[in-house]
Homo-oligomer: A and B are copies of this chain.
Amino acid sequence: MPIAFADRLNNVETSAIRELFKLLGKPGIISFAGGFPDSALFDVDGIRIAANAALTHEPGAALQYGATEGYQPLREEIARFMGNKGCTDLAPEQLIVTTGSQQALDLLGKTLISPGDKVIVEGPTFLATIQCFKLYGAELISAPVDGDGVQTDALERLIEEHHPKFVYLIPTFGNPSGALLPEERRRKVLAMAVKHQTLIVEDDPYGDLYFDAPPPPSLLALSASVPGSRELLVHCGSLSKVLSPGLRVGWMVGPAELLSKATMCKQFSDAHTSTFAQATAAHYLKSGRMQGTLERVRKVYAERARAMGEALRRELGAAVEFVQPAGGLFIWARLTGQTGLLTDGAELAKRAIENNVAFVPGAPFYASNPDLSTLRLSFATVGLDKIEEGIQRLGASLQQA
């Protein structure tokens, strides 16, 4: 029998990227295609100690069903962690724990989006956000991004034109753009939220991964000084990029009524996030090891980002343009077509795979009007030597007739 699937599945296409990822198992390939942290940097000892502490001190709680809102000691630790980043007024009850920040996106979709509702995202934005919201029937509108993140004037015009259900932004070292929204633009975003009474979602999985100086305060931190904006702001955080994606521990801060509805939806999505993972994360945060872990990973990613930027300038020269990222996992580059070379990112990706180097072409990251000349290159999981070698191969792929 052919199964009759739900209509909502017609809203998403099988990703072109998935086909690419099937090729990544090829031996000898250097991959800049991933979107994940380097597992060699995981604080395995610290996580082991935390997991054992959870099983020793609270085996019942760590292994039993738990509150849908999240394990209370973890909510307290997350509030403290956020407090150290400038959100000093956050109570544990103002956040819920989610199964990775991907689930926060899913709960936003489930809670807020009726089919046909409009949502503004950045162009480009996180691929799984596009697909997640589309499954709930959202019509996505892309706000243009430059090297400083979303262009606030254009964003405001789109809000005025479309009255979106909400605006979804990754203001800090966004995936894929790597861009950092300056404080001035952040304040403009909060001001327009209040002016137009528009809900803003700040997705912030990368903010802790800065290289030299900390980024400007998050929208959440800034909202304390913009009257009326906190009640129009959702903030999603995650331990995935800084500690371990395998724990699947994220969180969502938001207006009380929204959190209440999201909690109800979460109850019927997965009941609660693994209490074992939550108790482990709580003990880890409590142990005080996070600061050291962050300093260590920032240093490694900073070196790799620098090496990749230098190699790109050396090997590809004027054929690419990009803003050197100040944090995160990605360099977002555009093929300029200078000296008559290729400008199609997807075509370059195919050639590159043949030359044993992989990256993700940028087009799928756009909800509409893709810039076909873009590329996303992750430096996070590749050692310095291999970055050199991989970018050389990329340069050779571009030069190839």
A269 pairs with B102, CB closer than 8 A: yes
Q: How far is the CB of A113 from chain B (nearest CB, A)?
A: 6
Type the 1/0 row for A107-129, where 1 means its CB is closer than 8 Å to any CB of B.
00011111001000000000010
A271 pairs with B100, CB closer than 8 A: yes
Given the known inter-chain contacts A112-B6, A268-B131, A270-B100, please indicate yes or no for A55 contacting B51, CB distance below 8 A: yes
Cβ of A47 within 8 Å of any chain B Cβ, yes or no, is yes
* Count of residues in A whose CB is under 8 Å from the partner chain: 76
Q: Which residue from B6, B65, B270 sits with its C-beta under 8 Å from A246?
A: B65
The majority secondary structure among interface residues of chain A is helix
Q: Which residue from B4, B136, B244, B267 sits with its C-beta under 8 Å from A6?
A: B136
Q: How far is the CB of A298 from chain B (nearest CB, A)?
A: 19
Cβ of A1 within 8 Å of any chain B Cβ, yes or no, is yes
Which B residues touch A8, using CB under 8 A? 110, 114
B257 pairs with A3, CB closer than 8 A: yes
A274 to B257, CA, bound (A): 28
Which B residues touch A244, using CB under 8 A? 63-64, 276
Taking Cβ atoms with an 8 Å cutoff, the residues of A that contact B are: 1, 3-9, 12, 14, 36-37, 39-40, 42, 44, 47-48, 51-52, 55, 59-66, 99-100, 102-103, 105-106, 110-114, 117, 128, 131-132, 135-136, 165, 197, 199, 231-232, 240, 244-248, 255, 257-258, 261, 264-265, 267-277, 279-280
**A9-B264, A128-B268 known; 18 other A-B pairs, CB under 8 Å?**
A1-B197, A6-B111, A6-B136, A9-B111, A39-B64, A42-B60, A48-B52, A64-B244, A103-B269, A105-B268, A110-B135, A135-B265, A135-B268, A244-B276, A246-B276, A247-B276, A248-B273, A248-B275
29 A-B contacts (beta carbon < 8 Å): A1-B197, A1-B231, A3-B255, A4-B165, A5-B112, A6-B110, A6-B114, A7-B114, A8-B110, A12-B264, A39-B63, A47-B55, A51-B55, A63-B244, A63-B246, A63-B247, A64-B244, A99-B99, A102-B269, A102-B270, A102-B271, A103-B270, A106-B269, A128-B267, A247-B274, A248-B270, A248-B271, A248-B272, A248-B274
